[in-house]
Structure 1
């Protein structure tokens, strides 16, 4: 029996299979509000047959957006706009929805990738960024403001408020974004954190604010809601955040009741040198899983069903997440199930598409029951 197509529990959240759709920024919101694009984009991914759908990095305050077009959940209007998308999905799919709550820190105020991705000036619609320390991401960029005590409380409150909104929306889980060089990762990495107070210096101090955010979010939503963290296991830069520190951070998260950890890498420095290749981050997930026992999601260049099956069957990770590969092939779980002998949930409207040689491909569906 295919291990990729067995159920699994991320704390209180049970998924039908071990395939997750990773959060992917779409840069298509208006003042943080979900748009028709999100209805189409998330709607068709919800019919993919994956075990869980992670909604893109969602800013907890306007200053925390990567670009002016980032999705947000800091206001009532943001919540109403996303509620329309969630309700539409619920009418046609039972896929669990997990939202990634984020703050971009010093990597905020940028243009969309297809517009160059450079930092925007105020005249271009940009804004003053914030970070643990007044260190720019790249030498040519304007430095961020170092967060003081008031700023730290504001950001933490933003995470808490957004988490409560996520719960009101009926989402099954929250993933805190502490990866890819964004604010919580900036606190963790000595490359971005040069503070001399209780939030900088030692590993314990650098972990302090991300752990405070986790604790506050965990306390703000009921235990029936899964809460986990995405990390960059290494900065890929000498003297930066690394796998040993990541394992220590994961152990602290487990003590505090984290339900899962999603293991990526890089993003905090333009000096990074990443040896990209198939499954290049899997070993990081495997080590964290072995050392902590925390349910672990591996991501990064996982594109072949046999590769994904091997990762799960060998115990290197508990789930695999696909991002670009899912955009290229939104029915990847269907095709993986056909190859590996698994089954997926599909809407009744698509049952006729089942090829004759794969008569067991589609399992039961609960369309319209939620």
Structure 2
């Protein structure tokens, strides 16, 4: 992978830092700028099939100049991957036909698009009612330690009931499901693969000691807890070959507990991230509720900054970019300046900026930022209920 940066101290006439609009190459993926549309669950794909409205929605962001579109989380080919019937899936002929339409629209608009492969793991049943005959995939059969969360008490009570731990056959089946869906992604023309391994979902649940209490080769110390995500990445890399990039979203916080951590020190984080890079990951997508919060005491470096420092890999920052507060906080977030983004890009702390909600407020966000326009206002009620 290469990153050909010029002098990022230059500023264009409208005042936007040029670093945000420098190109970046990651394997075969050539990005015209550093602005990425972050994955956001939309639930506008009835029966898991994306239609013309979904294709138009993603095309508008490509037309708006964003360097890369990462789709909402997409269910892999496994029975308990995602519980909502309106979340798109990446298996089945109807869904694949739908995704071909999405990819074609984005490419026709000059854009680049990759899907975020998703298995919710222990959080099965959080979005909708589920078939009681199906058991959620949990490393040790436990939901995880509940802390600060937005989940209601009744759901936590139901989810906290222990289930069976994943068997060796379960592990093999899940890896095979990731591989099939990665193969499907390549087949419909996506430009790479993104993996959702954050927020307490399946792959993250192996990393978190509260959900992974196994004593076999898949659990124990942090290195062994990293093994299952590593095996998933290796299998996907073997399937898709050396050309297409793999993005990997990780986090400290969990949906079960916003205060949770998988690593208490940079050294611990290095164990996880370098194993993933060795397995075939190209871009580390560091998900945090606010992108600019220091990840560890004693340093101003963000989680994305530490990811790049510890591995040398391309890293991507995400979390309330352009908003005054996280959407999980009370009150309505106001627009916030991007000075921190510009400053950190200028210093090469990270390489890409994933922006979520502002892409809902303004499909042409990249063009708006390029010309020095105002940060758009996100209206939760307006933008979370429709494909704009």
Normalised to the residue count of structure 1, the TM-score between the two structures is 0.80
Aligned equivalents of 1:202 and 1:277: distance in 2?
Answer: 28
Match of 1:134 among 126, 131, 141: 141
Secondary structure of 2:95's match?
A: helix
Secondary structure of 2:46's match?
A: coil
Does residue 67 (structure 1) correspond to residue 84 (structure 2)? The answer is yes
Does residue 337 (structure 1) correspond to residue 346 (structure 2)? The answer is no
Does residue 10 (structure 1) correspond to residue 20 (structure 2)? The answer is no
Shift of 1:144: 4.1
Q: Which runs of 5+ in 2 are unaligned?
A: 1-9, 11-17, 145-155, 295-300, 323-336, 374-388
Q: Answer yes or no: is the 8 Å Cα contact 1:34–1:71 preserved in 2.
A: yes
What's 1:324 paired with?
357
Cα RMSD (Å): 2.2
Match of 1:258 among 274, 281, 291: 281
What's 1:87 paired with?
104
Flag the 1:42–1:51 CA change in 2: closer, same or farther, 3 A: same
Does residue 105 (structure 1) correspond to residue 138 (structure 2)? The answer is no
What's 2:61 paired with?
45
Flag the 1:160–1:122 CA change in 2: closer, same or farther, 3 A: closer
Shift of 1:238: 5.8
How many residue pairs get aligned? The number is 320
Normalised to the residue count of structure 2, the TM-score between the two structures is 0.77
What's 1:356 paired with?
none
Does residue 279 (structure 1) correspond to residue 312 (structure 2)? The answer is no
Aligned equivalents of 1:182 and 1:69: distance in 2?
Answer: 18
Shift of 1:241: 4.4
Q: Answer yes or no: is the 8 Å Cα contact 1:20–1:322 preserved in 2.
A: yes
1:229-253 Cα distance to aligned partner (Å, 9 max, x none): 1101455536754453333211112
Q: Equivalences for 1:330-369 in 2 at 5 Å? A: 330-339=363-372
Secondary structure of 1:63's match?
A: coil
Q: Answer yes or no: is the 8 Å Cα contact 1:190–1:241 preserved in 2.
A: no
Aligned equivalents of 2:55 and 2:339: distance in 1?
Answer: 31
Shift of 1:215: 0.2
Shift of 1:277: 4.8
Shift of 1:29: 1.8
After superposing on structure 2, the runs of 4+ consecutive aligned residues of structure 1 that deviate more than 6 Å are: none
What's 2:227 paired with?
208
